[in-house]
Structure 1
């Protein structure tokens, strides 16, 4: 029986030696890559790198086009902002002039003409998306109102706008000028 065990051990060692030799040959074949195979692997790596670079470039270009489109849409939407900002002081002066009390017929006629021009100007600005911000009686909102005075007396709840000193305006959804207001504390 001892001989059988020794014989089995010798056979196992022979099989193991043969497996090791086969494995070594396979590893050696892998290590010894032909120059053509190396060139193919290099070219495949360069191709993959070029494809990745192309995809990144394509994504950057798509992002650029999207940003340009959004910028153009914003520019179109708010194209009148500079003009409106420049016209607002004249609009304020119109409103102050219309508050003057007319004593004679000539002054009343003059004020009626100014009122018509004021309405036309407001209508043209409204067509561009300008709208006045309602203030009096509203709750104070720091995004819409600029508090220039706070008082403790007066009607209404705390943090309510009591008086408007200068109108505020929005162009579409953008605040052009906040309303200057007096707020109850």
Structure 2
């Protein structure tokens, strides 16, 4: 029996060694799978971080583009309406010129003075026209609350309802912006 025991022990030992080898192989596979899973997890984390950074970069670029567009529009607007403050200050003087020119001069000196005033007035009108200042049309036009300020409402024959009958004070526009609305009488 001793040979049989010895063979049985060797067989058991060999079986244990094979089981140990098998366990080592299995453990190695588990470790490899864990490492692969860790690598996939790290890779996924890196991809998520890259996606987040790309998203932030796109937002910053969009914000910068919007800032540049707004700045350009503000510069264009400032250049387009640069004369607005000056023209608004000049309008009362222009009104006074028109009042002075509406008086009929008597005598040669008064006529000469009126001609000089008229020349200065025309030069002012030309300078304003070059800057893009235009007079708002009124009499006979339909009332527009964006361009006209109705200070009186009358019933006149020969005019349609909501039609401007008389201009009390001229209105002016600078390019497409109203500087001062026209003060008008409107037919009821």
TM range (shorter): 0.7 to 0.9
**Shift in Å at residue 138 of structure 1?**
1.1
Out of 94, 97, 101, the position equivalent to 1:91 is 94
Q: Whole-Å Cα distance in 2 between the matches of residues 154 and 30 of structure 1?
A: 99
Is 1:102 equivalent to 2:105 in the alignment? yes
Unaligned runs of 5+ in 2: 1-31
Aligned to 1:147: 150
Counting only pairs closer than 5 Å after superposition, residues 5-154 of structure 1 correspond to structure 2 as 34-154=37-157
Please list, as runs of the form range in 1=range in 2, the aligned pairs for 1:137-176 lying within 5 A after superposition: 137-176=140-179
- Aligned match of 2:22: none
For the aligned residue pairs, the C-alpha RMSD in angstroms reads 2.2
Distance change in 2, residues 1:30/1:143 (3 Å): farther
Q: Using the alignment, how far apart are the partners of 2:142 and 2:134 within structure 1? A: 18
Distance 1:98 1:138 in 2: 25
What is the CA-CA distance between 1:83 and the residue it aligns to? 1.0
Quick one: distance in 2 between partners of 1:49 and 1:179? 57
1:40 positional shift: 2.6
SS of the equivalent of 1:180 reads strand
The farther-off stretch of 75-84 and 124-133 is 75-84
Query: Normalized against structure 1, the TM-score is what?
Result: 0.79
Alpha-carbon distance between aligned partners in 2 of 1:108 and 1:30, rounded to the nearest angstrom:
109
Q: Does 1:177 align with 2:180?
A: yes
Question: For 2:73 and 2:87, how far apart are their aligned partners in 1?
Answer: 22
Deviation at 1:43, TM superposition (A): 2.0
Shift of residue 30 of structure 1?
7.3
Structure 1 segments unaligned to the other structure (5+ residues)? 1-28
- Between the aligned partners of 1:86 and 1:122, the Cα distance in structure 2 is 14
- Count of aligned positions: 160
TM-score by length of structure 2 reads: 0.78
**In the TM superposition, what whole-angstrom CA distance separates every residue of 1:88-110 from its partner, at most 9, and x where no partner exists?**
11100100111112111111111
